[in-house]
Amino acid sequence: MRGLAMFAASALASMTIGTAAAQTTDSRINAGTALARLIYPPELDEAVMTLTFNAGVAPTYHADLNLTPLEAAHPGLIDAMVAAMRVEYRRARTAALPTLWARTGAVYARRLDDAELREAIAFHASDGARRIRALEIAAIAKAPPADAGGDAIQLYPADPTPVDGVAQGMFNATLAGEKLAAIQAEVRAINDDWSGKAAPPAAIVEVALARVMVRFGAVYAPTAPATSR
């Protein structure tokens, strides 16, 4: 059971340029955190986690030969196991989101000055930016599986309205927009590191899986690898 729990953690773990700003102040740190929440809201993390479970965790569990006979004897068991794990991962990631916002917000606070932070917050808090973000979230939710068994999943968000597209283009052309684009790799690395750590303890996942087994009356007995004498 521990191996199954650890796979989910591994799957979720697998989803620096700029001018240094002046000394970071508390107000700028707060502004950076506010910007981080706007750029990566809970709804976006929910979409990312859903994609990871749908495209990675669930297919792998269904392909697990140790689970195949159990699924045959107890239809729906695997989906119930995945759903139980998802609840625990959602709880853990929700609790950890403030840590992510603090880390990425610190980057924004260092790289952007006060005026640039205000400009970035104003854009990302605008109705147009929220609509564009909603298109991105919808694209993640509808993402097809990776091509030919590859790791990369292609996203195809719908085009924003002409008005929203112009507003986005105008912001991207500002110094604040250019700085945000330049530090995307740094922010993405922080997000990836956070995602790998924002997992529930393996023991909690194992208990959740065990409860599913009990509910279905199933017994998980993985095949032990052969050993030489």
**How many angstroms from the chain centroid is the CA of residue 42?**
9
- Give residue 119's region: left, alpha or beta (phi > 0; psi -120 to 50): alpha
Q: Is the pTM of this model over 0.85?
A: no
Among the residues of the chain, which ranges form H helices? 2-13, 26-39, 42-52, 58-63, 68-73, 77-111, 114-124, 127-141, 162-172, 175-182, 184-197, 202-216
Phi, psi (deg, nearest 5) at residue 23: -50, 130
Helix (H, G, I), strand (E, B) or coil at 104: helix
As a whole number of angstroms, the distance between CA 168 and CA 88 comes to 36
Residues of the chain with pLDDT under 70: 1-24, 144-155, 221-229
pLDDT of residue 158: 81
As a whole number of angstroms, the distance between CA 204 and CA 106 comes to 31
As a whole number of angstroms, the distance between CA 49 and CA 200 comes to 14
Structure-block tokens of residue 171: 């912001």
Nearest in space to 165 (alpha carbons), one of 128, 123, 120? 128
**CB of 112 closer than 8 Å to CB of 122:** no
Query: pLDDT tens, 111-157?
Result: 999 999 999 999 999 999 999 999 999 988 777 655 544 455 666 77
pLDDT of residue 106: 97
Burial (Cβ within 10 Å: 0-12, 13-18, ≥19) of residue 138: middle
- C-alpha to C-alpha distances, 95 to 53, 98, 119, 206, nearest whole angstrom: 19, 7, 29, 19
Cβ neighbors of 162 (< 8 A, separation 6 or more) are: none
